[in-house]
Homo-oligomer: A and B are copies of this chain.
């Protein structure tokens, strides 16, 4: 039939390569979060995306590649997010640390499906160098940034202590509240997470931070 209205109403059956790939990556994240790594099957990913099983292999060739690309996407999404926050921040180390902390609480990053998918990957990454390599590079640049900011804040703000260890504790606290939130071992919300993170920052840099944010 050549009814133009029907054609416009129905979503196009064929979509661009990039759109389909992104759709399948999002479905993979959802499936990982909902069912875990071990129960994530290609059929389930396809069903979540509303597509057929064969399409996954058509666009990604193997399950391994789909998962690797999904991890890469998560990694890039995370890196892009904090780098955007950092560029928008002023030149002072306090403002930059504030930016990094807010970045990790951004709703695009700090939501259950994203965090659970991360955890599913970490749980399975042992002995799989491919996963570690992909995600490790971004981690390293993040750590370097955080350590540099802490070092400048210590120097300019008249604090003492090891910038590497302080940067590490702040990073571990951020990662830790994520884990708490998704595993619900100690149930609390984003507001309490934020307060915990800033309490940590305020303990190291009391003249620049308070439990509620920048002093």
Binding site for B on A (CB under 8 A): 33-38, 116, 119-128, 132, 136, 139-140, 143, 161-162, 165-166, 168-169, 171-173, 175-177, 179-180, 182-186, 195-196, 199-200, 203-204, 211
Residue of A169, A199, A203, A211 most packed against chain B (CB within 10 A): A169
Residue of A136, A169, A172 most packed against chain B (CB within 10 A): A172
CB of A167, distance to nearest CB on chain B (Å): 10
CA of A171 to CA of B123, assembled, Å: 20
| Chain B residues whose CB sits within 8 angstroms of the CB of A140 once the complex forms | 185
Closest to A167 in B: B186
CB of A124, distance to nearest CB on chain B (Å): 5
Closest to A182 in B: B126
Instruction: Answer whether A36 and B126 are a contact pair too, CB < 8 Å, given A177-B172, A186-B143.
Output: yes
CA of A17 to CA of B186, assembled, Å: 37
Determine if B127 and A119 form an interchain contact, defined as CB atoms under 8 angstroms apart.
no
| Chain B residues whose CB sits within 8 angstroms of the CB of A180 once the complex forms | 168, 172
CB of A190, distance to nearest CB on chain B (Å): 15
CB of A143, distance to nearest CB on chain B (Å): 6
CA of A127 to CA of B180, assembled, Å: 15
